Chains A and B, each alone.
Chain A
Amino acid sequence: MTIGQGIFLVAVLAFAYYATRLRSTRSDRLIYVCLAVAGFLLVLYPGWSTGLAHLVGIGRGVDLIIYLFMVFSLFHYAGNASRAKQLERAMTELIRQGALDTARPDSQVRADADVMRVMSE
């Protein structure tokens, strides 16, 4: 195993920990900015990716960029999944409350409710 592979594996494991334990909107934004800056620098200085790749034993600079992209994609997926889940939770709550409020009771529940209402008046 090369150094690069080791770093990549650690990155994926760290990502899994981050996605399930640490995530917050603020840290998400920070990571986005860091990734954007890294991408920007790699475009400005194409030699860097090759140099960096050789340094960690990956081989080609393109491979390093592909690996970085994979980590970025995972990160992006987790962000979307988390947002989708929040929306789903909110939607479930809304639909559930609406359903409970408009439920049709059976005759006995209705009668009990009538009695309760009359008694509380």
Chain B
Amino acid sequence: MRQTAAIQYQRAAQARTPQIARADVCVVIPAFNERLSLATVLEALAPLPYRVIVVDDGSTDDTAAVAHRFNVCVIRHAWNLGQGAALQTGIDYALRLPMTRYVVTFDADGQHRADDIPRVLAPLELGSHDVVLGSRFATGAAAIDVPPLRRLMLRAAVAFTRLTTRLRLTDTHNGVRAFTRAAASGLNITQNRMAHASQILSRVAELGLRYREVPVTVQYTPYSVAKGQTLLDALTIVWDIATARIR
């Protein structure tokens, strides 16, 4: 009897959402005080058949309220922990859902394009790779209105990463990434703040994951530049990585 009720319910649910969304792709969006840009990002993602998971990282504005207006999963940190922690929370949530096969990360500040998501997913679906990293500097990519100092910092980060992880990459701090379920399970990001980008790449190297870059578009706006990382933040990242070894 119960079983019949369950099946009836499921059929009804399917009837309501006929275009059975691809429950196997979770797009994780960490957001801290992104009231101004989050709605635009979620509107761009809405027509796409992916499950969206917004992690509000203890925002002091109404970021969570914006997210609640959309049919997305909303997770809220009671306290601001940092982008790395927010990503890991979103990944944990995605992995709790049994249907999840792929996890995509995406920034909330509006600098990424939603139509790049199918492109980073493609190599995973072919089974040729475990991790796909978006690159704004790869051939065929577009990095629009990058401030010169920002470009220099990103180049330095690439050189540093090549030296320490031996990964052959052109862009190490791009918010668009895609992981298979197995790869996402192995990430275990413990760098709560911005050093998580380097940590993810270290994990990729350690675990010997099959990775590749895919060109994506990054559109800088005055808003995204203001929300982005400064030279001083870069120093903090280096510091976080250096002191991570203290027991």
Contacts and interface: CB of A to CB of B under 8 A. Distances in A.
A102 B85 contact: no
A107 B136 CA distance: 34
Interface stretch (B73-81, B165-173, B197-205): B73-81
Interface residues of chain B: helix, strand, loop or mixed (majority)? mixed
A19 B246 contact: yes
A88 interface: yes
Contacts of B77: 95-96, 99
Interface residues of B, number: 39
A78 B247 CA distance: 8
Contacts of A33: none
B35 interface: no
Interface stretch (B86-94, B142-150, B222-230): B86-94
Which one of A21, A98, A104, A121 has the highest number of Cβ atoms from chain B below 10 Å of its Cβ?
A: A104
A32 B93 CA distance: 44
Given A85-B246, A104-B68, A109 B2 contact: no
Tell me the dominant secondary structure on chain A's binding face: helix
Nearest to B58: A95
Interface in B27-58: 51-52, 55, 58
B236 interface: no
Contacts of B81: 91-92, 95
Given A100-B93, A106-B51, A115-B6, A20 B246 contact: yes
A82 B79 CA distance: 21
Interface string A107-121: 111011011001101
In order of increasing CB-CB distance, the 9 nearest A-B pairs are A111-B13, A20-B245, A23-B247, A118-B6, A103-B75, A104-B74, A119-B6, A99-B75, A96-B89
Interface of B: 2-3, 5-6, 9-10, 13, 17, 21, 23, 51-52, 55, 58, 68, 71-79, 81, 85, 88-89, 92-93, 96-97, 99, 190, 192, 243, 245-247
